[in-house]
Amino acid sequence: MKERLALVIAALWWGSLTTLGFWVVPMLFAHLPTPALAGGMAGRLFSAQTGVSVACGTLLMLILASNTALSIVHRSFYAIGLVVFATLMALLVEFGVSPHILARENLRLWHGVGSAMYFLQWMCVGLVLWRLTRRQAS
């Protein structure tokens, strides 16, 4: 039961990151009248995504850490590390990078840093999801 719940949470997290970052935000910039309007809306959506990321990351850490079978715990250490790193990336983007973007300080640099950190978060959650689906098959 716990492994299925972890799988659903990881899928929700990865799916929300994928939908927002690779579909919704590009659509905003393609269809809203000004980049400033699109950027403001994207910023609000990314802030909401941080909440989703922290909630999913916390739940996944609790579930993965609660497995007591040695083989599962041994395999879960890698996944827990990825979840912690992904959650940290979400928080760093929200509280470390976003203020610089909102202040329009060296916008190209901070947008690049934020995009790279978002992509790292997406990759980490994808790897966790991959591992959880592999575990379900075995």
List the chain domain ranges.
Answer: 2-137
CA atoms within 13 A on the CB side of 7: 12
In sequence order, the 6+-apart residues with CB closer than 8 A to the CB of 10 are: 56, 60, 125, 128, 129, 132
User: Cα–Cα distance between 88 and 101 in angstroms, integer?
Assistant: 19
Please state whether the predicted TM-score (pTM) of the whole model is above 0.85. Answer: yes
**pLDDT tens digits, 46-103:** 999 999 999 999 999 998 888 654 345 445 688 899 999 999 999 999 999 999 999 9
Confidence at residue 64, expressed as pLDDT on a 0 to 100 scale: 86
The amino acid occupying position 23 is W
pLDDT by residue (tens digit) across 6-49?
A: 999 999 999 999 999 999 999 999 999 999 999 999 999 999 99
42, two tokens: 């994207």
DSSP the chain: -HHHHHHHHHHHHHHHHHHIIIIIHHHHHHHSS-HHHHHHHHHHHHHHHHHHHHHHHHHHHHHHHH--SHHHHHHHHHHHHHHHHHHHHHHHIIIIIHHHHHTTSSHHHHHHHHHHHHHHHHHHHHHHHHHHHHHHH-
